[in-house]
Amino acid sequence: MTYRLPTGATLVSGLDLQVAQGETLVLLGRSGSGKTTTLKLINRLLEATEGEVLISGKPSTAWDPVLLRRGIGYVIQDAGLFPHWSVQQNVALVPKLEGWEEGRIQKRLDEVMALVGLPLAEFGSRRPTELSGGQRQRVGVARALAGDPPILLMDEPFGALDPVTRAELQREFRALAQRLGKAIVFITHDVREALFLGTRIAFLAQGRLVAVHTPGDFLRASEPEVRAFVASLDPGGREEAQR
Amino acid sequence: MSWFTFLLQNRTEVVVRTLEHIQLVSAAMGIALIIGLPVGVALVRRRALRRWVFGAANIVQTIPSLALFGFLIPVPWIGGIGANTAILALALYALLPVLRNTCTGIEGVDAAVLEAARGMGMTPQQVLWQVELPLAAPVLLAGVRVATVISIGVATIAAAIGAGGLGVFIFRGVAMVNDQVILAGAIPAALLAVLADLGLGAVQRRVASQ
In which band, very low, low, confident or very high, does the pLDDT at B1 lie, cut at 50, 70 and 90?
low
- Quick check: A158 and A174 in contact, CB under 8 A? no
Contacts with B119 from chain A: Cβ below 8 Å: 43, 45, 69, 72, 74, 76, 80, 153
pLDDT at B84: 87
In which band, very low, low, confident or very high, does the pLDDT at B65 lie, cut at 50, 70 and 90?
confident
* Residue B36 or B1, more confident: B36
Residue A173 burial (CB count, 10 A): 24
**How close, in Å, is residue B190 to chain A by CA atoms?**
35
pLDDT at B142: 94
- Strand pairing report for A10-12 and A183-188: unpaired
- Note which residues in 92-151 of chain B have CB less than 8 A from chain A: 110, 112-123, 126, 131, 134-135
**How close, in Å, is residue B80 to chain A by CA atoms?**
46
Residue A200 main-chain phi, psi, to 5 deg? -140, 150
pLDDT at A1: 61
Residue type, A215: P
Chain A's closest residue to B136, CA to CA, is A84
- Quick check: B190 and B201 in contact, CB under 8 A? no
> Which of B113, B122, B210 is nearest residue A97 as measured by Cβ atoms?
B122
Contact yes or no for A84 and B121 at CB 8 A: no
Alpha helix ranges (H) inside B83-166:
83-107, 111-119, 124-126, 133-154
pLDDT at A78: 83
pLDDT at B118: 93
Q: pLDDT tens-digit profile of A148-173? A: 999 999 999 988 888 888 898 999 99
**How close, in Å, is residue B145 to chain A by CA atoms?**
22
Beta strands in chain A (DSSP E): 3-4, 10-12, 24-28, 54-55, 58-59, 72-76, 151-155, 183-188, 200-205, 208-213
Distance CA B94, CA B36 (A): 9
Distance CA A210, CA A146 (A): 34
Residue B45 burial (CB count, 10 A): 11
pLDDT at A56: 80
pLDDT at A207: 82
Give the gyration radius of chain B's Cα atoms: 20
Contact yes or no for B115 and A45 at CB 8 A: yes
Chain A's closest residue to B113, CA to CA, is A80
Contact yes or no for B112 and A83 at CB 8 A: no
In which band, very low, low, confident or very high, does the pLDDT at B172 lie, cut at 50, 70 and 90?
very high
pLDDT at A165: 87
Mutate to test the interface with A, among B106, B109, B120, B210 (most CBs of A within 10 A): B120
pLDDT at B136 over 90: yes
* pLDDT, mean of residues B48-68: 88
Residue type, A229: F
Contact yes or no for A76 and B122 at CB 8 A: no
Helix (H) or strand (E) holding A14: none
Contact yes or no for A83 and B135 at CB 8 A: yes
Q: Which residues of chain A have a pLDDT value below 50?
A: none
pLDDT at B149 over 90: yes
Contacts with B123 from chain A: Cβ below 8 Å: 66
- ipTM comes to 0.85
CA distances from A21 to A18, A155, A183, A217 (A): 10, 19, 4, 21
Average of per-residue pLDDT values in chain B? 91
pLDDT at A152: 93
Residue A76 main-chain phi, psi, to 5 deg? -120, 170
Whole-number percent of chain B with pLDDT over 90: 65
